Structure 1
Amino acid sequence: MTETPAPPAPSDALRFAFGTLTVLPVRVTRWDRATARGGMLCAPLAGMVVGLCAAAVGGALLLLGGGPLLAAVGSAAVPAALTRGLHLDGLADTADGLGSGKPAEDALRIMKQSDIGPFGVITLLFTLLAQVAALHELYAEGWAHGALAAAVAAAVARCALTLASRAGVPAARPEGLGAAVAETVTVRAALLCAALVAAGCAAAGAVFGPYGALHAGLAALLGLGLGELLLGHCRRRFGGVTGDVFGALAESAGVTALIVLTLG
């Protein structure tokens, strides 16, 4: 008789989130569907840590006299470094797959290739430029504005992954990270996580008053909304999600939140 595995502990979920979404020295001790569910629900926490690290680097560069542009570059580089550039790589591969205009099977094959095509290069270029430009504007207003933006963008980026892991969003391939986490999170839990992230962003923005709270909360919602639009398009084109699509969702949601924080 097969024994039912014990439910994962909270530490297992945190290890899964940090071990798969960052390069921090965390060993994943369990790799099953139940642990993946908890890990994807904890994804925004991993994002918050990444964002705080980015804010710390930006603040340090400002204190050392580097100016807002250098602080922006530093803050944009930290998330890339802490994820080994996997999300940026996923964004580029997804752009190549979508831009190819080919059927799902051929597009997925293009995405698996190690090289980056013209669509991927252009998408990476403008995404990184948008990140640095937005952070530069915010750091020019003061370290607190840039730090808030870095933290909000990183949390929103990872929350987009939680939403993409909900039931009803299948994997496009039978293997890979996308297949490991696809449909592990209930719709209710995913929506609750998104609501908590938006509320947390609004609470953080409240340090700048009621308008700051509204602005940060709106940035979170619009970032997640853009991620949902991209997710829907990828589902129609590829038949589901892949690890590359997860990376594209994270980068797209995060940069959208940054842009919204810059506006107004």
Structure 2
Amino acid sequence: MSERLTDIEARIRSVEQLSSVIEAMRGMAAARAQEASHHLAGVQAYAATIAAAIGRVAPSRQTPATARWRKGSHLVVALCAEQGFAGGFSRRILDRFVRLRNDSQDQAVKLLLIGDRGLLAALERDLQPSWSAPMISATAEAASLSNHIMEEIYERIGKGPVERVSLLYAHPGGAMADIIERQIIPFDASQLDRPAGRTPPLLHLSPETLFESLAEEYVFAEICEAVVLSYAAENETRMRAMMSAERNVSETLETLTASARRQRQEEISNEISELSTSILSSASA
């Protein structure tokens, strides 16, 4: 009996240690999600500034460079999880990619995958990315990763026909993150509001050249926003997973504590019984 109680108490200590680890992971995920939320406001303000500039210099509601986008492949940048304990985060992104690919008929759909955990999940499903890179581990890395993605996209555009480029990412908030598909190339100026009643700006470049430069900057801002949103969604998902794990650990701890209590009572009862038997034996002798 004593060995059994010792085993239970050892398991209780292990579960308590696990509970501490889970609590720490939940706290880190919550802090990262909050950090991403604060960073997002700056990214969106930057995108809004670029959008306003485009609205003032755009020579028309259409993209000047539309003609160079000919029939070709569809590049899908899928933002998945970098770390584990995020539930089905990467799986849901990849499920959406598979549906998108299946719906594309004859068009070649190429997967540009972000996130090491997402890469593992993709390989398990026999999905071979055309290119991959690690996801950010802090919001300060968002701009660097966005530049890296931009470089890869434009390098591929330069090498062969690309018809369009889309982002696939999770949006935080709610019980389960929404999966967003967003086309970023070709850039469509008609999606932006043009300010009315303002004097046209004095330009030192042709409107078309300036427009293309601003359009690229806006695409960068869109990628950066998606990266930050995905990072926030990943950490929100991890936080919810840790909260669920905490509940399971708490229930396990309660069960083990009750079991240890019963074992302890049985030991005490057995000791009293043995002592009573010994006293009775001594008295009868």
The two structures have a TM-score, normalised by structure 1, of 0.27
Q: Which has the higher strand share?
A: 2
Higher relative contact order (Cα pairs below 8 Å, separated by 6+ residues): 2
What is the TM-score with the length of structure 2 in the denominator? 0.26
Question: Who wins on radius of gyration, i.e. which is larger?
Answer: 2
